[in-house]
């Protein structure tokens, strides 16, 4: 069966909204968009059957209860569980991992071992760290090279004390898809629990927990076109039966006395409180929606786009590519060689291209790769060739704009190099026809700010900027002079705008300026993110504090 990304995309109403018709959405590893069927199911629940479940016999409660258990059965089929009793509804993969960590570790002995990897999302690291500290357990890591786990060497860290192995089914930072069958072979015959974090996996390929042989698997609906706030925990029935519940409250109990309680049977003993019922209805619609799709054709389309994108980026100078196309679930990760990843993200946002920048809740992996932040573009089945081409073109334009080296500022007899800002004209910035041209002009202005490692001291660090910025000050002859440095070109550009107005002026002249009005008149406030605007005002406040 042939697959058309364009036809698939038409089922997602967000892209049809006037403000989103030019949107290039490449942030799917964070969350996917929702098809009309999911949106309709959520609305339909509130319109026709909104009631709490299981504890009432009236008509709406029966409808809601029937819906929840029907979706539980669908979820069992989606993961190929042997029974609906093996499916626990959670708020998402993070809550599911916390449930497993708390319930499983409470029965371990001091000195027992938990094995994870450097490629894990924080949600599959922090709960195990917390439990290791609480119960005096030992945390061990799969051998790795520059942060990349060598899963074929997993057996090297397994010992007679290993009780839990919890590993990603796909890295959210690099897209790396481990050989889960190879992991299963290394774990076979050992007395331990194997957990798979399938948050990224379930969106891109069919998941068969029986074929995998894992004991537990977690995933989140919003990663595979479903609603946020609902996720799945699969567990082998006999293991769930033996586990103590994590949270206590309504729904998870059968009977409560003053000093003892009796828990409900599976899966309800792990579902304390009222579930997100509308989200469960949306999950059911998402599972039905995926069930009507050619999943193999969807995956082939994603892989083709992802491989092509890697090929294109590998040919572009000025970026360091961290991800690899082999065994990849649809993520391209890279960092600019010069400048700030955050600057690039804002440039792309100005082109209505959505990517994600940061450590992606995978700090150990990103640090081991030698970076503090990367740009991540992630693909879904509705990503088109045109989307990817627009992203590559915008990236080339940004790098061409940013490749000119920063200017060398002249010395003026102080401990740092004062910058020559005389060529910066606010009128030229104001005359630019649109935001993209104004952004380019700000990027050019950033080149007037020379590097000043000597001012990068804690006392000069400006709090409130999205990217680190340092501002130093000296007074001479009744006039005030400033020095600015930052790794971000946008911060440098905004700083150059500020300093072009105040550098070399008297305190009275500086106080007389209405710089917030200038910032607003230039239209920067409406186009820059709130954090960028806050950064400008943080620089302004620090400068005014220096002036006194």
Instruction: List residues with catalytic annotation.
Output: 361
Reported for 519-522, long-range contacts at CB under 8 A and 24+ positions apart, including other chains, are 521/430, 522/426, 522/429, 522/430, 522/438, 522/497
Residue with tokens 């900027």: 465
**C-alpha to C-alpha distances, 357 to 11, 108, 224, 332, 397, nearest whole angstrom:** 28, 38, 21, 12, 18
How far is residue 197's CA from residue 184's CA, in Å, rounded to a whole number? Answer: 14
Residue 15: is it exposed, middle or buried by C-beta count within 10 angstroms (0-12/13-18/19+)?
Answer: middle
CB 452 within 8 A of CB 416: yes
Closest CA to 443 of 483, 397, 412, 392: 397
Closest CA to 224 of 288, 161, 138: 288
Helices 341-350, 385-402: inter-axial angle, 10-degree rounding = 120
**C-alpha to C-alpha distances, 545 to 58, 91, 288, 462, nearest whole angstrom:** 66, 46, 60, 12
Q: Output the six-digit token pair for 207.
A: 């998941």
How far is residue 522's CA from residue 520's CA, in Å, rounded to a whole number? Answer: 5
Q: What's 162's DSSP letter?
A: E
Neighbour count for residue 311 (Cβ, 10 Å): 10
Residue with tokens 């609305």: 43
Query: End-to-end distance of the chain based on CA atoms, in angstroms?
Result: 71
- Is the dihedral angle over the CA atoms 335, 338, 341, 344 positive or is it negative? negative
How far is residue 95's CA from residue 89's CA, in Å, rounded to a whole number? Answer: 10
Q: Output the six-digit token pair for 139.
A: 């945390």
Measure the CA angle with vertex 324, ends 321 and 326; round to 5°.
165
């Amino acid at each position: 069966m042939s697959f058309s990304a364009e036809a698939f995309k038409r089922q997602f109403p967000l892209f049809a909204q006037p403000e989103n018709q030019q949107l290039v959405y490449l942030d799917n590893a964070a969350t996917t968009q929702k098809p009309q069927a999911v949106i309709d199911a959520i609305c339909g629940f509130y319109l026709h059957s909104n009631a709490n479940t299981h504890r009432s016999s009236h008509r709406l409660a029966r409808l809601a209860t029937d819906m929840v258990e029907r979706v539980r059965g669908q979820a069992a089929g989606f993961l190929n569980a042997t029974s609906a009793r093996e499916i626990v509804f959670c708020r998402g993969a993070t809550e599911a991992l916390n449930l497993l960590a708390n319930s499983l570790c409470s029965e371990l002995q001091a000195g027992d071992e938990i094995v994870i990897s450097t490629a894990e999302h924080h949600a599959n690291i922090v709960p195990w760290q917390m439990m290791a500290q609480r119960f005096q357990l030992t945390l061990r890591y799969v051998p790795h090279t520059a942060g990349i786990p060598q899963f074929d060497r997993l057996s090297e860290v397994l010992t007679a004390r290993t009780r839990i192995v919890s590993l990603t089914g796909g890295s959210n930072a690099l897209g790396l898809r481990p050989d889960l069958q190879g992991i299963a072979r290394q774990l076979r015959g050992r007395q331990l629990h194997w957990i798979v974090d399938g948050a990224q996996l379930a969106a891109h390929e069919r998941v068969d927990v029986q074929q995998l042989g894992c004991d537990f698997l977690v995933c989140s609906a919003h990663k595979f076109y479903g609603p946020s706030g609902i996720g799945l925990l699969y567990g082998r029935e006999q293991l769930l039966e033996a586990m103590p519940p994590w949270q206590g409250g309504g729904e998870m109990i059968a009977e409560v006395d003053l000093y003892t309680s009796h828990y409900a049977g599976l899966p309800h003993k792990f579902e304390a409180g009222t579930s997100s019922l509308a989200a469960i209805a949306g999950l059911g619609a998402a599972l039905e929606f995926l069930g009507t799709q050619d999943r193999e054709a969807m995956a082939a389309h994603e892989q083709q786009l992802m491989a092509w994108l890697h090929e294109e980026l590998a040919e572009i100078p000025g970026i360091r590519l961290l991800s690899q196309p082999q065994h990849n679930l649809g993520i391209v990760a890279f960092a600019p060689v010069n400048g700030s990843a955050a600057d690039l993200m804002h440039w792309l946002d100005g082109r209505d291209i959505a990517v994600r920048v940061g450590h992606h809740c995978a700090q150990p992996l990103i640090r081991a790769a030698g970076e503090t932040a990367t740009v991540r573009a992630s693909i879904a089945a509705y990503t088109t060739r045109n989307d990817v081409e627009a992203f590559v073109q915008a990236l080339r334009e940004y790098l061409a704009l940013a490749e000119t080296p920063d200017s060398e500022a002249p010395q003026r007899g102080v401990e740092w190099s004062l910058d020559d800002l005389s060529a910066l004209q606010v009128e030229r910035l104001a005359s630019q026809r649109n935001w993209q041209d104004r952004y380019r002009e700000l990027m050019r202005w950033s080149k007037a700010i020379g590097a000043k490692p000597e001012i990068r001291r804690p006392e000069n660090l400006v709090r409130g900027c999205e990217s680190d910025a340092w501002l130093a000050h000296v007074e001479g002859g009744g006039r005030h002079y400033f020095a600015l440095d930052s790794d971000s070109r946008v911060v440098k550009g905004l700083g150059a705008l500020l300093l072009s107005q105040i550098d070399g002026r008297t305190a009275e002249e500086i106080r007389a300026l209405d710089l917030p009005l200038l910032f607003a008149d230039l239209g920067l406030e409406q186009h820059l993110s709130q954090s960028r605007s806050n950064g400008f005002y943080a620089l302004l406040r620090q400068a005014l504090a220096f002036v006194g």
